[in-house]
Structure 1
Amino acid sequence: MRNAALVLGIIAGIWGMLVGFFGYGYTEFIDHFGEIPDLAEQVDHPERIRLFGLIAPVLAIAGGAMARSVALVGGGLLLASAAGMYFAFGYGVFTMFPIAMAGLGGLLALAARQPDPH
């Protein structure tokens, strides 16, 4: 289970980085060039997008990396990452996979009481 949490966390973090890059870039683009009515408008909380676009994927990668050695901490970081992605970006077509992978990885890491058999 720890290996599965590791893989899910790293994949969720990489996919979350793509979402974070796009979210950060979009908010900066709108700030620089202005809004286009009914086509490209600024989000309600651009600083939230920018902050969690960085923090949530880093938490997922760190949680996945820690899942093998310190499963409880890794699982907590993965669950925090899933919550952060949902809080910043909501649930949509591009966020459903990193949220689900980070959440499942967190649950698997928390459920892993014993080290994986070799």
Structure 2
Amino acid sequence: MRNAALTLGLIGGVLAMIVGFFGYGYTEFVSRNGAIGDFGTQVDHPMVIKVASFLAPILAIAGAAMARSQNIPAGVLMLASALGIYVAFGFGVFTMFPIAMCGLGGILALAARQPDSH
């Protein structure tokens, strides 16, 4: 289960990084260039988007890296990453897989009681 948590956390973290690049870039673009009609309006809380864009992928990848040796902190980090993505971006077509993979990786890491057999 720890290997599955590691894999899911890495994939979820990379997907969260892609979502984060676009989220951060969008808020920066609108703040520098202003609103573009109805298409490019600023989000309600741009700093939440920016912080989650930075922290969520780091938490997921760090949790994945720790999944084999320290499963409890790893699970907490991956679940925090999934929660951060959900709070900042909501649940949609581009966030459902990072949320699901980070969340499932966190649950698997927390559920792992002993090291995986080799």
Alignment TM-score > 0.5, same fold: yes
**What do the CA deviations read for 1:64-88 (whole angstroms, capped 9, x no partner)?**
1100000011001000000011011
How far, CA to CA, are the matches of 1:42 and 1:72 in structure 2? 38
The alignment-based identity, stated in percent, is 66
Whether 2:37 is the aligned partner of 1:37: answer yes
**Count of matched residue pairs:** 118
**CA displacement at 1:15 relative to structure 2:** 0.6
CA RMSD of aligned residues (A): 0.6
Aligned pairs (5 A) from 1:94-105: 94-105=94-105
Indicate the SS of the match to 1:39.
Answer: coil
* TM-score (ref. length: structure 2): 0.98
* TM-score (ref. length: structure 1): 0.98
Structure 2 unaligned blocks of 5 or more = none
Structure 1 unaligned blocks of 5 or more = none
Determine the structure 1 residue equivalent to 2:2: 2
Runs of 4+ aligned residues of structure 1 deviating over 6 Å after TM superposition are none
How far, CA to CA, are the matches of 1:36 and 1:109 in structure 2? 44
